[in-house]
Amino acid sequence: MQINDDIDTKEFHIGVVGGGSWGTALANLLTSKGYVIDLWVYEKDIKDQILETGENKVFLPDVKLSANLHPTNDIAKAVSGKNMVVVVVPSHLMRSVTSKMANAVSKEAIIVTASKGIENKTHLTMTGVLKETLPEIPHHRLVAISGPSFAREVARYLPTVVTVASEDIETAALAQKVFATLYFRVYSSQDVIGVELGGALKNVIAIGAGVVDGLELGLNARAALITRGMTEIRRLGLKLGANPRTFTGLAGIGDLILTCTGNLSRNHTVGVKIGQGMKVNDILSEMRMVAEGVKTAKSAYNLSRKLGVDMPIFHEAYRILHEDFSPKEAIHRLMTRDLKPELDEE
């Protein structure tokens, strides 16, 4: 499909909400295309640091930021008058943060979520939350961006490939055009739920892969966990109406492989430390950045039980993370389940 060239995206005014590593990296990427970006940062010290040094030393150290990236603690300033607003906050803060910008954002704006998670109480993905917090924004102007993309590598201009999804293919194509650079390739999709589920659920499997590595159970075990983890992600996706082909793509197996094997993965790091004997609360207390898989494990556990979807790996991950269950016992339970065919019946 051809991108609608009647809309000049070069003239877009863009705001980014969230000054963590991914939000900062995406904001800086957009400045490389000539956009002047207002970046909402929650912490005053980080805003001042970016203004004074040109770096976000807490969340994205040793990366020089563009002079066209303007940090602010005023969320209304960051989003008002913008053609596109990119929201990059921890998933458990999506509702509270976007509620605060509802009166300032244009009804005509495209809202892009780069956050990956499933809300604990409602079991909504991030676009689902946005539909409730930004009711004036038409659903066809909501976009999810996902795929194998460590913030630090994007910030270093290393080749990265992702997917943007919207129920309206023209909206997806506009977002595709805005984000694409020589080193950041963007594909489009209309499977919003599939792209979001892949991005959110892979974080839980990444913690599991880290546990396997922390226990030194070997590469065979890690490969099996990743493969069977994707089977469970696909099961839940099909139940929720996703296109199964999405899980073979960038937002599915691509993001899963990266997060389960890359040494920049916070979720994998959490799992390694659990496997080495540390307690979850102690691990999280040492981290300033969020490991989304911890909260998503709870959502996946409850949602799968509600819908009757068989997800044994996710259930064991939930028990390890939220019920202080022994990782070794969890592995034993998985390995001694009843024998059955590998492939699900379609």
Supply the residues annotated as catalytic: 202
Q: Tokens standing for 26?
A: 């995406």
What's the CA gap between 98 and 40, in Å, rounded?
12
Grouping H, G, I as helix, E, B as strand and the rest as coil, residue 118 is strand
Chain-centroid distance of CA 323 in Å reads 25
Residue 94 to residues 27, 108, 117, 124, 130, Cα–Cα distance (Å): 18, 20, 9, 11, 8
Nearest Cα neighbor of 9 from 32, 27, 33, 28 is 33
Buried b (16+ CB within 10 A) or exposed e, 73-98: eebeebbbebbbbbbbbbbbebbebb
Do residues 166 and 139 lie in contact, with contact meaning Cβ atoms separated by under 8 Å? no
Q: Which residues are registered as beta bridge partners of 60?
A: 56
What's the CA gap between 31 and 342, in Å, rounded?
47
Segments of 155-201 assigned E as strands? 160-165, 184-189
What's the CA gap between 142 and 138, in Å, rounded?
7
